[in-house]
Amino acid sequence: MDVKTVTQQELQDVARRLRAAGTRLITIVGYDGGDAIQLSYFFQPFPAGKAEVYRVVVPKSGGNEEVESITPIFPAAYIAENEASEMFGIKIKGIPGRFFLPDSVTAPLRRKAP
C-alpha cells in the first residue's frame, strides 16, 4: 500500500477533494516515531476502489505539535481524532477537550524519552 506523506495544509486539500469525489474515511492510525507522531489517514472510494493513505508528521516539540482537524470535512473523523489526541498527546485543532480517558491518564501510547 502506497503511503503519501503530506503537510497539514495538503491534507486539508486532499480531504476536500476526496470528499467531493464520494470517498469515505476508514480510520486514522497514530504511531510514535520517536521525535514525531505520525498520523495516517485511510480513505476508500465508495462503493469500491483502491484505498489511499496519507500521512501527516506531527513534531513532539518545537512549537508545531498540533494538526488541523478534518472533522468538518469528514464527520466520521471525530472519534479517531479524539483518540489520537488523547493517546499520543498531540493537539487536534477543532476537537474540544477529552473524550475517552480520565484526566489522570496522559498520552499512554507516547514513547518516554530514554
How confident is the prediction along the chain (114 residues), in pLDDT tens digits per residue?
Answer: 799 999 988 999 999 999 999 999 999 999 999 889 999 999 999 887 889 999 999 988 776 678 999 999 999 999 999 999 989 988 899 887 677 788 888 887 888 765
* pLDDT value of position 22: 93
Do 69 and 83 contact (CB within 8 A), yes or no?
no
- Three cell numbers written together for 56: 501527516
Print burial letters for 24-33: b (CB count within 10 Å at least 16), e (below 16): ebeebebebe
Do 81 and 88 contact (CB within 8 A), yes or no?
no
* pLDDT value of position 113: 67
Distance CA 40, CA 37 (A): 10
**Any idea which residue has 503530506 for its cell?**
6
